Amino acid sequence: MNPRLFSDVQQKVERTAFEFKKRAEVIAREMERGARGSGLKGIGNRLSDPPMIDPVRFKKTLVILLKVLVVVELVSAFLEGVNNAQWGRFGFDLILAGLLYILWERLGNLLSERKEEAKRKMETASQEIRLWDALLFSLLWSDEIYSDIPQDRRRIIVIAFTLIALGVVAAFMKIGTGLMPLVITGGLVLGAVNLLVWVVSLERGEKQALQTELRLANEVQTSLMPKSHPDIEGFDIAGLSVPAKEVGGDFFNYTCFGPKADRLGISVFDVSGKGMQAAMSAVFTSGAFASESRQSSSPADILTHLNGAVFSNSRRGQFVAFLLAVLDGRERTLTFANAGQTKPLLRSGDSVTWLDSIGVHFPLGMKEDSGFEERTVQLARGDILVLLTDGFTDAMSADREIYGLERLQHFFQQPGLEQRTAEDLLRAIRAEVQVYVGQAPQHDDMTMVVVKVT
């Protein structure tokens, strides 16, 4: 191997290192002059609008720089070994590089396994958050945390971290004399911390405002639902609705038909989606239904006319699954029309069946010209009728298995249920679903009305 060639390469490496050193000294002098009041404003103006940083690309760049530095160190040690026959440094650097590579791989695998655990600890730690857990979470989830920052706030975060980086540089380069380096470093870091605290407080204020709006929407939605169970001769009725969030898209209500109030309409519907948008659509649908129910007592007619209102006033792609059942106390009959809602469940004697509707089954708002039909079922004393949304049957356990229609049907096949009140049955089925779900979060709104024929 040509020693002259290695000598030329070594000189280039040393020249590059020298240029980096000179460049650092120039930057230090500029910042020192700025500390005296000459150029700090100009440097600050150049740094006040930093480019947006992609955290993934930034991490990759850092890793590439580290690899380049390691390679440069190994090449330099190899050249020194060739020229001076001193291979100790090269051997040491080579072993150290191998150890660092193994450590890097092991650490990467370990951290990838700890990622979900670190997030779970932060979510469940409440007020007792350990410093190590917070550090580990912030490092492992840095990409996701940064992506969750609103787009219009990211530049402020970038500026804050730029100030912290400048503070670190100022501390190492000892800009100025006496206490001046400490003053410059402290000022930069304090300014960065203040910016970060301001962003966090701003986000918290907006979150609190949103929570207030959701609470008010919840109060409006709750006020439109029944405050008590209806009292109609021949039936024992109980219902509830549990939103998955502060407000939801599920809704149920009772409507009396006829001057003697011996015919009771039970409406159970589910707006696609969750949250504020679904809640507002549910409130609109409830108002439109109240208007249509004053014009007719036929479930089929009401849903047919209501479909046109929902189609005209809802966003495309948003539908309403609606079940309207009318109970007749004198005839002991159930007449219902179903627009895409979960089928009613009827226990009569020893049989438990899901009641199929007839005609169109599309949810409201899917097609403008949908026309619905109704079906009448004779009821008997002791029968149990269940009207519900899919939030109960689709309730999911921690293993991501749903409760399902079969489990609900099996529950109502138990002997002795005819001796219990509708309220008792409602509490029992809710408790069973909660036991099945365990600690898993509620994924969908849950609404159910239980009717017992007395």
What digits encode the pLDDT tens for the residues 165-217?
A: 888 777 777 766 667 777 878 888 888 878 877 777 777 777 777 777 667 66
pLDDT level of residue 25 (50, 70, 90 thresholds): low
Per residue in 226-273, pLDDT tens? 888 888 888 999 999 888 776 667 889 999 886 666 789 999 998 886
Average the pLDDT over 347-370 and give the result: 88
pLDDT above 70 covers a percentage of the chain that reads: 79
Residue 321 has pLDDT above 80, yes or no: yes
Q: How far apart are CA 185 and CA 197, in angstroms?
A: 18
**Sheet of strand 320-328: strand arrangement:** 250-257, 263-271, 320-328, 333-339, 375-378
Start-to-end CA distance of the chain, whole Å, equals 103
pLDDT at 151 over 50: yes
164 C-beta neighbours (distance < 10 Å), count: 18
Q: What residues have CB less than 8 Å from 342, skipping those under 6 apart?
A: 321, 323, 388, 389, 390, 393
The C-alpha atoms of residue 311 and residue 412 are separated, in whole angstroms, by: 36
Region 128-145 average pLDDT: 73
Mind listing the domains of the chain with CATH numbers? 231-453 (3.60.40.10)
Residue 374 pLDDT > 90, yes or no? Answer: yes
